[in-house]
Amino acid sequence: MIVVTGATGTVGSELVRILSARGATVRALSRHPAEGAKLPGVEWVAADMNDPGSLANAFAGAAAVFLLSGNVDAMVRMQKNVIAAAVRAGVPRLVKLSALGASDQSKSVIGLWHYNVERVLEQSGLAWTSLRPHAFLQNLLDQAESIREGHIYSAANGGKVPFVDTRDVSAVAAEVLLTGGWEGKSPVLTGPQALSFDDVAEVLSSVLGWRVTHIVETDDEAWARLRRNGQPPWLVAGQLALYEYQRAGGATAKTSDAVERITGNPPRTVEQFVRDHRHLFVA
């Protein structure tokens, strides 16, 4: 039996679907379990990662736990609560969804937070795997309205990004949870190619059938746009730090073959993503 936290989110819901399709028994945790898809072998359980008491019985009998929470200001406390609950329940393995920038040297608070949790996990006594995906292709959907108007915005200048599809991240998580073999490792998950936002704009134009232009922003302009969209200051600062890394190139532009090595399938391309989600970009 596999416990999945964050089970109604983008990665978590796809992971639950894959695990169900492969015949696994799943205990899916959510603050709103009624919103979860009714699937064979899946039990939805109400639990709040902020509340250790609600986690007390959630991990009993589990063979593995998938640890995921959103980018919220309580992320470190929430994820530490899950690790502690898994240890108390005697769960042997835990797979964490981390981030490429997990480091004590990260300029992004999100990278620092993931690093903090990774250190706790490594010292927990659990067999662990930390998945470190790059920027999600699904983040492009946040700009669907502006893309419909012919514009995509970033402060990355010409920096290249090996965007990864969250469906591939979920597929990797399922394989690691079901078969193991990646204990004590932190595979980096990317798409097959590093593309600049200018390149992404060309793909969008080709697939959607209208001209999409990349608008290069200053950090101040990106800050204002993201704050208008409702993102909190700490999250905007994290995005600006990511743009800075992308402008500099180096590690953030490198691709990895981990998706194909783990799942046996090549990662999805930007073109595949846009074709699959075309209906979301069309008014």
CA dihedral 97, 103, 106, 111 (to 10 degrees): 20
Position 152 scores a pLDDT of 98
pLDDT of residue 98: 97
> Which burial class, exposed, middle or buried, applies to 107 when counting CB atoms under 10 A from its CB (0-12, 13-18, 19+)?
middle
Is the pLDDT at 36 greater than 80? The verdict is yes
User: What is residue 78's predicted lDDT score, i.e. its pLDDT?
Assistant: 97
DSSP string, 3-48: EESSTTSHHHHHHHHHHHHTT--EEEEESSGGGS---TTEEEEE--
Q: Rounded CA gap, 275 and 203, in Å?
A: 10
Average pLDDT, the chain: 96
Q: What CA–CA distances, in Å, run from 218 to 153, 157, 190?
A: 10, 9, 26
250 confidence band (pLDDT: 50, 70, 90)? confident
User: Read out DSSP for 197-224?
Assistant: HHHHHHHHHHHHSS--EEEEPPHHHHHH
Mean pLDDT of 48-70: 93
Q: Kindly report, residue by residue over 81-134, the tens digit of the pLDDT.
A: 999 999 999 999 999 999 998 999 999 999 999 999 999 999 999 999 999 999
Report helix, strand or coil for 282.
Answer: coil
pTM: 0.96
In terms of average pLDDT, the best of 26-35, 100-109, 263-272 is 263-272
Tokens of 144: 């669907």
- Quote the percentage of the chain above a pLDDT of 70: 100
**pLDDT band at 70; cut points 50, 70, 90:** confident
All structural domains of the chain, each given as residue ranges with its CATH number in brackets, are 2-133 (3.40.50.720), 134-165+190-254+268-283 (3.90.25.10)
pLDDT at 283 over 80: no
Residue 251 has pLDDT above 90, yes or no: no
pLDDT tens digit sequence for 150-209: 999 999 999 999 999 999 999 999 999 999 899 999 999 999 999 999 999 999 999 999
Nearest to 192 by CA among 117, 260, 90: 260
